[in-house]
Structure 1
Amino acid sequence: MGHSIEDELTPDIIEAALPYLSIEDIKNLSLTNKYFHKLLDFEKSDTLWHELFRKSFGSMHSDAEPLESKENAQYMSCCEAILRNRFPDESWGQLYRKRALNATFHTWGSLKHARLGFTAVSHGSLPIEVINNAGMRLQFGINAPVPVPWYSSEEGQSQPFDDKSIASVSAGGFSFQILTKSGKLYSTGSTYSGGHRGPGTVEGEHDYNPFQELIVRTERSLALFNGRTPRAGGVVPINTTSSMPLERPHENIYARLEDVEQALDQKVLGNKHVRRLFARDVLNVDPQVPHHVSVESEELDKIKFQALSSGRSHFLALSTEGELYSWDGPDVEQGIRIVLERIPVKTSNPIVKIGCGWNYNCVSVYKIGLVVWSSRSATKENEPFATANYKIIPNTGEVSGDDKVVDFACCANMCVFFITANGDQLKLYANGEMQNVDLPLDGKLVKIVGCYTMLAIFTTRSCYTVNVVDGQILPQSLIRLELEDNEDMFISLSTGDYHTIALTSKGKMYTWGLESELCGCLGLGNREEIVNARRIGRIENLRSTRVIKPSLVKLANADYVCLAVTAGGWQTGALILS
């Protein structure tokens, strides 16, 4: 006598399998039969909506959150914890809709290079009091959170819901990177690198650039025409007699390139300061036709991203297919696919977590461990990928048990901290050596966050920061961060060059540090507000203000809910429920 499917695949088995299925797989499974439809009811199943929430907004694949382990199997991402805390009576379906529909991106800080995703002129609705200036002509920065213009309707145009819903944000030294629920990647401002080299090609090497090569070959071939060079506007001088030069219109030799450039030049509707980024893999470089470059519009969406992380002048993105892409220098407009030679990443050893240090990269590879690199090979003609010049941090490849690495944090110059599942020991890999770090911490280690010269350590009971210099912890700099509200605690933290922003379990933002050149990166108001009205800071010099202790960022809605924070360079960003 046969067994029914209810006996073979009990609800607990189905629930355990959900994390390994894509959203599309889950939808298809729910349509298979009545049993699966009942278990995976998109209207009533709280378990299902929680899993969909985690897949869309609780990714563990970037350094924003630790990996799951036996010890923290019930770990919630910061966004999950805050929503569950602030809206305890709402279902996961309701929380999913709230997160997807109402989370808006706010930025503040330096206005240089339009890194905030807008300028003082382009935004159109900036109150004068949020602009730090010295006279009407000098506008330095924005001193309070301001929503970034995001897909406003233009001439009846509409955008798919998943394209408008922001999944995560990350800040580099000179820009923000934005990842949508649909897997599209965007960057703010005119430059992500600030003109600085990232962990790209080694000194003296250069990537093969199909655009540049096509331009050079086209101009060179045309220059041979009557021994002359085309003038601006596609006009070529020709001689009909030996004494009278005439001009005639010539076919636009750059038409093919202009078509490709136009296809790749996608901006957010209503905001020219937020542009979409693509991987070089979307380009068609025909090996049978030398230097032929094209792009098909239907191919632009073939690569979708699921995680991102930003360094000072570079960033990484992980695709849903498990491929790694790097934007790592002023000449890299399209992301370069990074290959880890001798590691079969997409098959037996997938990348499970990515992170960017100040000037290098670190990824966690299943069964291999933590892989770090600060340079890569140059791309070649007909080879759009590059190989990372990597090292594997020893003894970091365990996939289960107490020694499984669940989180890592990157500071400057190949200085990597990591913690394992047992949460007892902070470990440091720096200057090619491994060491244990002993600090007087209260509670088990559950999460760490790194930046240029600071490490944040989260335990089951508290949050600490400690300074890092030349690959060494400065124990005397250890600070325990505490809040006056005993029912609230810091659960996330991010730092820029000289300032820090922290997020609490109730969704409140606190900032402190140095606000240089009136850039406004603390978001605490203008200097008068910080120094005289709230008395939380002091004047450091002519245009700089310092705030020593974590201070609450205030919004017009005092009961606001922030879901994520990020800081980089002289700017800060946050996802806030509108």
Structure 2
Amino acid sequence: MSTNNLNIESLGEDILVNNVSKYLTSEEILEFFILDKHLYNIFTNSFSIYKILYNKKYSNNLYDYTLDSSQNLNWKELFYLRSNKSQEIFTWGESNGGRLGYLSSRIDQSHVSKKIGGWSVHTPTNISDFNNNLIVGIEANGYSFIILLNNGELWFTGMDWKRPQFGLSTPGPINEKDYRPNPGTMALASMNQEAQNRDDNIGGRRSIRPTPPPGRFGVLPIPLMAGRYTESSSDDSDSNENGITPPPPTTTTSSDSAQSRRRLQSPPKSTTNRQQSKIQETNFLSRLYLPPGDQYANRKIVSISTGREHIIALDDKNNIYTWDTGCNSNIGIHINFENIPKSAIVSKIVGGWNLSACSIDDVGLVVWYTRANLTKEQFDRQDYKSKAKYVILPNTNNNVIDFAVGADYVLYIKKSDNKLYQFRINAQEFATRDDPVDDEELKRMTKPMDIFNDWKTSQTIANIAFTKLKSCFTNFIVFTNHDQILTGSNDHLLYSESENDSTDPPQPIIIPELQNKNIKSIEIGDYHYLALTNEGSLLSWGQESRSCGCLGIGPRELAISENPNQVIELGNNIEVKTPMNVKSPYGNRKGKWVAIAASGWHSGGIYVPDE
């Protein structure tokens, strides 16, 4: 066949759907398939295209979500269910720092547990500010929820996404925060810019943006939770016990802590051409921004992930941004991986406890553990780029099925042998190193998780394979293609790291109630877990500390009395021994959960009520 006769129709449906679509965003896919009648017919009659749209739009290929055969939904129906604008965000758990996104006085009081020094929420409760918006994703870190809207707007709940009274930590800069002008310089810049543009002003405490809402004034952050996330535990209390190296103490001035998130006034030549949001910012709802400048004006965030005190985001042009302990405003820092082609396609991003990682096509699994701080010169010219210190894990180039990031470790499933591996790194030590890291050292830092690999080999089920991972701190989840869920802990991580063969290895934890239950995703908090099923139901189990409500099973006393064999009272805490259903947000009105989030002592999700 002559190449002169080739056209789009000659490519065939399989190539158009499965190959061409791989390199397009969800919006570009829709635009492509309405170019002519032939393409439009493929779009309307192909369920495969809706599967691709779903994975790109609502998971950004974080995992290849597949339909359960027992469901009545096909891919087209599932896509439209997830895109239903009647969806709403619900949060519950510990309220400290405003992380739930609302005041107790403005919600159903039957959802609230009063306690000494505060309150918590034991039943999923709506953040009404986001109603009537299409929500692409929700994530949770140690101190807030991070919410991504369909239009690319990125929001967080609470006073801050980090602890303003504490110092620097990986994967942010470890020696010095990003530059921020002192209050006098900011005042002068404000006066100069007001003279040029009366519509631009500094009022408030958040970030650079076009026009702040009226009547909004700065407030000092209330003391947030130390330790892992709680007031009572020491920040380093878990570090030695779990084999994680804590960062050395750093000092911050009172000015640093009190003003850590005040809005920074740009230099006079600021380009703040961001569209005003329809959602009103409050003391507990704030917007995060991409850097100012024309080069960022048309970029859109498509995927988000979080660590303990940091947030990472991927835009539709394959750029990664971070908001971490080094940030002094709500403007993201554009991460630069020196010596990696800027044209390389980033297929997935994951934030871990004190690390971040991404999978890059034709490069491999990239793990970064610190970045350079923003200098005064960069701030003056509005150059919000930062060079990351990173490593590329050997033998991971186009060879990773999935990966997860925790505290000083990365887990990944290798395509070539379908085995689970652990890469162990002392993030703080590597952040301070100046000498290069070679492949031989990285190989020594990588070991197979034989406890889990041997379990897989021992199964009688044919063609069993690991498919997906999830991790938080030192806990992790492994999924298989036969709807099996394996749970791991620090014992498994440290045993695989050690050379000691004299003791019996801890076996993967298997919770019978989770096996063959069509589990779509699992989220992990400090001591609790959430599981979302393909049918849209939500399960929770684990420990609820100090009646914080993170399990979402209703009032403490009622949960214990109604489920005496499942809910156990442990002093000020309760423990749910086996997974049980989270309370419905609408009582007897039915609906489906479509996304979930958990961290620390708080939980959240996106719910679509039945019409």
State percent identity of aligned pairs.
25
Alignment partner of 1:427 is 2:448? no
Q: Alpha carbons of 1:132 and 1:334: their partners in 2 closer, same or farther (altered >3 Å)?
A: same
Residue 270 of structure 1 deviates from its aligned partner by: 6.0
From 34, 38, 51, the equivalent of 1:35 is: 38
In structure 2, the CA distance between the partners of 1:420 and 1:255, relative to structure 1 (3 Å rule), is: closer
Change (3 A) 1:423 1:524: farther
Q: What residue is the counterpart of 1:119 in the other structure?
A: 103
Q: Deviation string for 1:343-379 (max 9, x for gaps)?
A: 12x31x2322111111111112222222222211011
Match of 2:449 among 409, 418, 437: 437
Residues 540 and 579, structure 2, Cα contact 8 Å, conserved in 1? yes
Q: In structure 2, give the amino acid aligned to 1:502.
A: A
Corresponding residue for residue 318 of structure 1: 314
**Partner AA of 1:452 in structure 2:** F
Confirm whether residue 517 of structure 1 aligns to residue 546 of structure 2: yes
2:72 counterpart of 1:87 = yes
Uncovered stretches (5+) of structure 1, i.e. residues with no partner: 67-75, 153-160, 222-233, 235-249, 285-298
The answer as to 2:202 corresponding to 1:207 is: no
Q: Following the alignment from structure 1 to structure 2, what is the Cα–Cα distance between the partners of residues 218 and 7?
A: 58
* Aligned partner of residue 67 in structure 2, secondary structure: helix
Q: Is the 8 A contact 1:199 1:373 kept in 2?
A: no
Distance 1:31 1:129, change over 3 A: closer
Separation in structure 2 between the aligned mates of residue 341 and residue 525 of structure 1, nearest angstrom = 50
Give the Cα separation in 2 of the matches to 1:103 and 1:254: 35
What whole-Å deviation, never above 9, does each CA across 1:404-424 have from its counterpart, x for those lacking one? 1111111112x1110022563
* Paired letter, 1:364: S
2:24 aligned with 1:21: yes
Change (3 A) 1:212 1:446: farther
Does the aligned pair in 1 maintain the 2:88–2:128 contact within 8 Å? no
Contact 1:192 1:314 (C-alpha < 8 Å) held by counterparts: yes
- CA deviations 1:440-461 (Å, max 9, x no partner) are 2443111111110101111123
Tell me which of 466, 481, 494 is aligned to 1:460.
Answer: 481
Q: Is the Cα contact below 8 Å between 1:118 and 1:271 reproduced in 2?
A: no
- AA aligned opposite 1:34: K
- 1:30-83 deviations in whole A, cap 9, x for unaligned? 454433343344xx55444443333322421xxxx33xxxxxxxxx42xx636x
Q: Is the 8 A contact 1:488 1:506 kept in 2?
A: no
Alpha-carbon deviation of 1:395? Answer: 2.0
CA deviation after TM superposition for structure 1 residue 256, in Å: 4.7
**Aligned residue identity for 1:430:** R
Equivalent position amino acid for 1:326 in 2: T
Cα contact 1:278–1:300 (8 A) shared by 2: no
Seen in structure 2, the aligned counterparts of structure 1 residues 175 and 6 have a Cα distance that, compared at 3 Å, is closer
Matches of residues 137-286 of structure 1 in structure 2 within 5 Å?
A: 139-151=118-130, 164-195=133-164, 196=166, 197-199=168-170, 201-209=172-180, 214-215=185-186, 256-258=201-203, 260=208, 263=211, 269=279, 272=282, 273-279=284-290, 281-282=291-292
Structure 1: distance between partners of 2:522 and 2:26:
30
- In the TM superposition, residue 261 of structure 1 has moved relative to its aligned partner by 5.0
Q: Which residue of 2 aligns with 1:358?
A: 353
8 Å CA contact 1:407, 1:448 repeated in 2: yes
Asked if structure 1 preserves the Cα contact closer than 8 Å seen for 2:141 and 2:308, the reply is: yes
Other structure's SS at 1:186 match = strand
- Deviation, 1:182, is 2.2
Partner of 1:100: 83
Alpha-carbon contact 1:110-1:571 (below 8 Å) kept: yes
Q: 1:253 & 1:10 partners in 2: Cα distance?
A: 57
SS at match of 1:479: coil
Name the aligned partner's letter for residue 131 of structure 1.
V
Partners of 1:564 and 1:469 lie apart in 2 by 29
1:304 and 2:293 equivalent? Answer: no
Q: Contact 1:151/1:270 (CA < 8 Å) preserved in 2? A: no
- How many pairs are equivalent? 491
Q: Say if 2:452 is the partner of 1:450.
A: no
TM-score by length of 1: 0.76
Which residue of 2 is the match for residue 231 of structure 1? none
2:113 is matched with which residue?
132
Query: Would you tell me which structure has more strand in proportion to its own residues?
Result: 1
Farther-moved stretch of structure 1 (311-320 vs 95-104): 95-104
Does 2:559 align with 1:530? Answer: yes
Distance 2:529 2:406 in 1: 14
**Residue-by-residue CA offset, 1:10-41 (whole Å, 9 max, x unaligned):** 22332232332334544444454433343344
Tell me if structure 2 keeps the 8 A contact 1:267–1:274.
Answer: no
Following the alignment from structure 1 to structure 2, what is the Cα–Cα distance between the partners of residues 558 and 422? 47
1:336 alignment counterpart: 333
Cα deviation, residue 438, structure 1: 1.4
CA distance in 1, matches of 2:525, 2:13: 46
Q: 1:211 to 1:353 in 2, by over 3 A?
A: farther
Per-residue CA distance 1:64-114 (angstroms, 9 max, x = gap)? x33xxxxxxxxx42xx636x75433xx544332221114322111011122
Asked whether 1:576 is paired with 2:607, we answer yes
Structure-2 change in CA distance of 1:166 and 1:423 (3 Å): farther
Q: CA deviation at 1:203?
A: 3.5
Distance in 2 between residues matched to 1:557 and 1:339, nearest whole Å = 50
> CA–CA distance in 1 between the matches of 2:200 and 2:467?
55
Q: What's 1:479 paired with?
A: 509
Alignment CA distance shift 1:529-1:476 (3 Å)? farther
Partner of 1:392: 392
- Aligned position for 1:561: 592
* Deviation for aligned residue 1:532: 2.1
| Cα distance change on mapping 1:122 and 1:302 into 2, 3 Å | farther
Moved more, 308-317 or 200-209: 200-209
In the aligned structure 1, how far is the partner of 2:184 from the partner of 2:368? 28
Distance 1:219 1:457, change over 3 A: closer
Structure with higher Rg: it is 1
Name the SS for the 1:205 alignment partner.
coil
Shift of 1:546: 2.0
- 8 Å CA contact retained: 1:307, 1:319: yes
CA contact (8 A) 1:151 1:268 kept: no
> Whole-Å Cα distance in 2 between the matches of residues 396 and 528 of structure 1?
50
Quick one: which amino acid aligns to residue 55 of structure 1?
A: K
Distance 1:321 1:211 in 2: 34
Q: Structure 1 residue 521: deviation in Å?
A: 0.4
1:226-273 CA distances to partner (integer Å, 9 max, x unpaired)?
Answer: xxxxxxxx9xxxxxxxxxxxxxxx999997534955536677636733
2:309 is paired with a residue whose SS is coil
Which sections of structure 2, spanning at least 5 residues, go unmatched? Answer: 214-275, 426-441, 497-504
Distance 2:48 2:196 in 1: 61
Structure 2 SS opposite 1:531: helix
Q: Secondary structure at the match of 1:121?
A: helix
Aligned with 1:379: secondary structure?
A: coil
CA contact (8 A) 1:149 1:271 kept: no
Contact 2:190 2:202 in 1 (8 A): no
Query: How many Å separate the matches in 1 of 2:287 and 2:92?
Result: 21
Q: What is the match of residue 290 of structure 1?
A: none
Q: Is the 8 A contact 2:113 2:555 kept in 1?
A: yes
Shift of 1:393: 1.9
Aligned CA distance change for structure 1 residues 199 and 264 (closer, same or farther; 3 Å): farther
| Aligned-partner SS, 1:51 | helix
